[in-house]
Amino acid sequence: MTTVTAGSSTLIDRRNLAFLLYEWLEADRLTERSRYAGHSREMFDDVLELAERIAKDRFAPHNRAADEQEPHLRDGRVEMVDGVADALAAFFEAGLAAASMDDAVGGMALPYVVSMASFAFLQAANSATAGYAMLTIAAANLLIANGLPEQIDRFALPMMNGRFFGTMCLSETQAGSSLGDIATRAIGQGDGTYRLFGSKMWISGGEHELAENIIHLVLAKIPGGPVGAKGISLFVVPRVLVEDDGSLGERNDVVVVGLNHKMGSRGTVNTVLAFGDGEFTPGGQAGAVGYLVGQPHCGLSYMFHMMNEARVEVGLGAASLGSAGYLKALRYARERPQGRRRADMDPSDRQVPIIEHPDVRRMLLAQKSYVEGAFGLLLYCAKLVDDQLTLDGEAERADAHLLLELLTPIAKSWPSQWCLEANSLAIQVHGGYGYAREYEVEQHYRDNRLNPIHEGTHGIQALDLLGRKVTMHEGRALRLLADAIDATAGRARRRGGELAEHGRALAESLARLQDVTARLCQRQIECAEEALANASIYLEAAGHIVVAWIWLEQLLIAEQRDGAFYEGKRAAGRFFYRHELPRTAPQLDLLERLDRTTLDTEPAWL
């Protein structure tokens, strides 16, 4: 057991991570599965240790500088602060990018749950710099899953060691959430290659000098294909063409035409890219050279494979920033003297640390309950990734996959909402200092505000959950989740005492959620617009109930153990059950009565 305590780090609480990974999820037992047989808990801990060290030594030091001096264009090149390139080089050199990938492609075949836990340190230390790594890994994974062997060799393998970086090019100015409306065209050249023409918006990492090359994964339409989302294909478009021997060739016609300047997450350069604008003419010809990935017109499904992974990573980023804020607020609350306890208001006495004030403890407990609830959910999802790959039976693997699909919109949106709230509370604990840029929590808050937006807004996640996930396979995913929650609630009830109380509250909330879901699914058949009008509220209620379940899982373990750490778990779990879960009651009421307030409001009235 690691002996690092919460107080010693302001990134991620290693003690909590060990609790979640080993005491709860039994990640060490994954080594019993053949894929992970070569590993051990010691190796897992070494990876976490390594990630923490790189996070502290390489990622954290330039976090503020990259915010204050954001990337800028000079002569068509993107300049940024020193430190970004070094940090990412250290990350790739350590092999962390390929941690969970197959041996066959040079990976370590670590469980995804361990690889994801390790990545949290980097996101907590510097989410903007970690963004480049995340995009590169996701792009490499997509190619490995869907690309031709030669595409994997030429593009994906150099991404895994950081020689090349990757991007996802989906949005265009007129097509953000509505990808079916993209206008970028890909013209077949008869030789298997395509030429792309169009422009892409909001492309993170779209141009920089951090790597030898940038591999863009680009959604575009092949003329003559189906209209809308069914006519989208996926292409690899390298910034610089790659020769057969892997060396760099001619410059491809993809150029940065502008940068977006964000409220936070500034260190991740965000670009507008032009494809085939004519600045370069590779092979003496117009257009950006692109290579089709997989089948024509199937691009969106490949991208969604990557996007699902990215969505869980977004949730992890949100939770990591929540953690960094919480641990800083906690340290500040222990050290900052201000005021006196209500029971002893003698002004001649010394001031007490603000953690002595109940309202400050409320703000800390809320943060702890959000952050540790979110980490629990995310690591649970990460383990489902491992399960869908390595469980013995095919049916079990399919179920793990279904449950992961159902939980993905929640794993993306819940941490984005509540760990942002945690960052707001971290500011509030700091008072005026929290609002000052001399402290770090205000940056966490700004950085985190991105997470409810990118990779699908809350509204999009809500439609995904209620409009697709709960109804797919005739509701099997939701039944799997309900069975898991019911089992946990049942165990808690049998324990008696406070746990039984929590178990009853959870079972009751779940039953209401199931009733409401049935009603909404029925209504979807009759009038989808009405059924989905309050999808965002459904997402929030479902999220709180799922996290209450995750907390009860943690409490079932903590109950049997002594010491301050477990007392803290009990306190935060109690807080979630008393202060948070009850929020869902009025939400479920509103959903139950198919509230039409928003639907019946005419745009002209606003």
Q: How far is the CB of 426 from its own copies (least distance, A)?
A: 12
- The answer to whether 530 is a known catalytic residue is no
Q: How far is the CB of 500 from its own copies (least distance, A)?
A: 18
Closest CB to its own copies among residues 101, 272: 272
Closest CB to its own copies among residues 22, 565: 565
Indicate which residue of 313, 356, 455, 540 is catalytic.
455
d(Cα 239, Cα 205) in Å, to the nearest integer?
12
Radius of gyration of the chain (CA): 24
Q: How far is the CB of 354 from its own copies (least distance, A)?
A: 9
The gap between the terminal CA atoms of the chain, to the nearest Å, is: 58
Closest CB to its own copies among residues 223, 284: 223
d(Cα 566, Cα 19) in Å, to the nearest integer?
10
Closest CB to its own copies among residues 202, 375: 202
* Selection from 87, 16, 93, 24 nearest residue 56 by Cα: 87
Pairing mode, strands 164-169 and 213-221:
parallel
Q: How far is the CB of 230 from its own copies (least distance, A)?
A: 8
Closest CB to its own copies among residues 390, 534: 534
d(Cα 501, Cα 302) in Å, to the nearest integer?
44
Q: Is the dihedral of CA 392, 397, 398, 399 positive or negative?
A: positive
| Tokens found for residue 163 | 């020689």
Contact yes or no for 336/272 (Cβ under 8 A): no
CB atoms within 10 A of CB 183: 13
Closest CB to its own copies among residues 146, 536: 536
Angle between helices 564-575 and 535-558 (to 10 degrees): 150
Q: How far is the CB of 338 from its own copies (least distance, A)?
A: 5
* Selection from 376, 314, 307 nearest residue 113 by Cα: 376
Contact yes or no for 81/65 (Cβ under 8 A): yes
* Selection from 56, 27, 52, 57 nearest residue 42 by Cα: 27
Residues 6+ apart with CB under 8 A from 32: none
Q: How far is the CB of 346 from its own copies (least distance, A)?
A: 8
Q: How far is the CB of 448 from its own copies (least distance, A)?
A: 11
Q: What region does 507 belong to: left with phi over 0, alpha with psi -120 to 50, or beta? A: alpha
CB atoms within 10 A of CB 358: 11
Closest CB to its own copies among residues 428, 471: 428
* Selection from 417, 419, 420 nearest residue 409 by Cα: 417
* Selection from 503, 254, 371, 339 nearest residue 10 by Cα: 371
Q: What region does 152 belong to: left with phi over 0, alpha with psi -120 to 50, or beta? A: alpha
| Tokens found for residue 568 | 């803290």
Q: Which amino acid is at 534?
A: N
Residues 6+ apart with CB under 8 A from 513: 541, 542, 545, 584, 588
Contact yes or no for 372/16 (Cβ under 8 A): yes
Closest CB to its own copies among residues 175, 484: 175
Closest CB to its own copies among residues 26, 359: 359
Q: How far is the CB of 491 from its own copies (least distance, A)?
A: 23
* Selection from 414, 430, 306 nearest residue 369 by Cα: 414
- Rounded to an integer, what is the distance from CA 461 to the centroid of its chain? 13
Q: How far is the CB of 110 from its own copies (least distance, A)?
A: 31
Contact yes or no for 55/88 (Cβ under 8 A): no
Contact yes or no for 477/406 (Cβ under 8 A): yes
Contact yes or no for 144/128 (Cβ under 8 A): no
Q: How far is the CB of 428 from its own copies (least distance, A)?
A: 7
Contact yes or no for 432/335 (Cβ under 8 A): no
Contact yes or no for 445/427 (Cβ under 8 A): yes
Closest CB to its own copies among residues 261, 504: 261
Q: What is the DSSP letter of 96?
A: -
Q: How far is the CB of 360 from its own copies (least distance, A)?
A: 7
Closest CB to its own copies among residues 100, 443: 443
Cite the beta strand spans of 535-601 per DSSP E: none
List the catalytic residues: 455
